Amino acid sequence: MKERTLVISDIHGCYDAFNQLLELTAYDPAKDKLLLLGDFVDKGPDSRQVVEQTMSLVRNDGAIAIQGNHDERLVDVVLGRSKEAEEKFFKHGGYETFSSYTGSQLEKGASAPDSKRFEVLQETIKEKYMDHIDFLEQLPYYYEDEDFIYVHAGLNPRYADWKKQPKRDFLYMKEPFHSSEPFTDKKVIFGHTKTIDLHGKADIWFGKGKIGIDGGCSVGLQLNALEIRGADSLRTYKVPLIK
Ligand SMILES: [Mn+2]
């Protein structure tokens, strides 16, 4: 049994902030269980490095990583299996992921056809980083321990058994989850929705039966960590980003 659980979400390519946060919390794999709630890629500058580090944290330190909607989208785009993913990709932080993986800058709104960009991204990743795609694709949608349920986005209160909700809810849920009364026996810890949209500040949001931790590092706000030593022993850490 580890002494602490540390939970971080929505790193979104913010590699430097992520490492500053691990340092700030004095993360020690021998004593701490690290839980990463998804959205490793898009928006921030260093998606490739973040995925690489996450793979190593999972394989070498026993960290647990959960899939976010942006991680699913990158897998879909690289495998060319979803038109919807392609339509959303460059509109939601994909430029930065393209640059991080291909090493070439893409001018935002540049007139190169998307089909060509997808080709370049697919070829580069398939040639050099297919292990990243395999890794992101097999990530679980939730994790559970004695006291908490951990998901990327949330739980749909309409399902009596939350494990039966569709994958899409695990990855995209907002309302009616945020404003719901507690409907699970354990508190739910989630990311996906920036806490500034939940309570007007980037700090961790403690709601009814749920805790939102996405500090919005991808938009220059902050990266949060929740430290858990027991159901009622919580502490927060933050690394603010300067815009
Ligand atoms: Mn998300």
Under a CB-based contact definition with an 8 Å cutoff, are residues 218 and 191 in contact? no
pLDDT tens column, 47-65:
999 999 999 999 999 999 9
Q: What is the pLDDT of residues 223-240, one digit of tens each?
A: 999 999 999 999 999 999
Distance of CA 147 from the midpoint of ligand 1 (Å): 23
CB-based neighbours (< 5 A) of ligand 1, an ion: 39, 68-69, 192
**Reading across the β-sheet that carries 4-8, which strands appear in turn?**
64-65, 32-36, 4-8, 222-230, 233-240
pLDDT of residue 109: 57
Greatest distance between any 2 Cα atoms in the chain: 54
CA of 160 to the centre of ligand 1 (A): 24
The alpha carbon of 57 and the centre of ligand 1 are apart by a number of angstroms equal to 21
The model's pTM is: 0.95
Q: Taking residues 186-192, what's their average pLDDT?
A: 98
What are the DSSP E strand ranges found in the chain? 4-8, 32-36, 64-65, 142-144, 148-151, 187-190, 205-207, 210-212, 222-230, 233-240
Q: Which CATH superfamily is domain 4-240 in?
A: Metallo-dependent phosphatases (3.60.21.10)
pLDDT category at 113 given cuts 50, 70, 90 is: low
Q: Are strands 187-190 and 210-212 parallel, antiparallel or unpaired?
A: parallel
Structure tokens at 91: 């509109």
Amino acid at 49: Q
For residue 70, the CA-to-ligand 1 centroid distance in Å is: 6
Res 111 pLDDT > 60 = no
**Domain segments of the chain as ranges:** 4-240
71 class by beta-carbon count within 10 Å (0-12 exposed, 13-18 middle, 19+ buried): buried
Cα 236 to ligand 1 centre (Å): 21
Distance from residue 183's CA to the centre of ligand 1 (Å) = 22
**Cβ partners under 8 Å of residue 56, min gap 6:** none
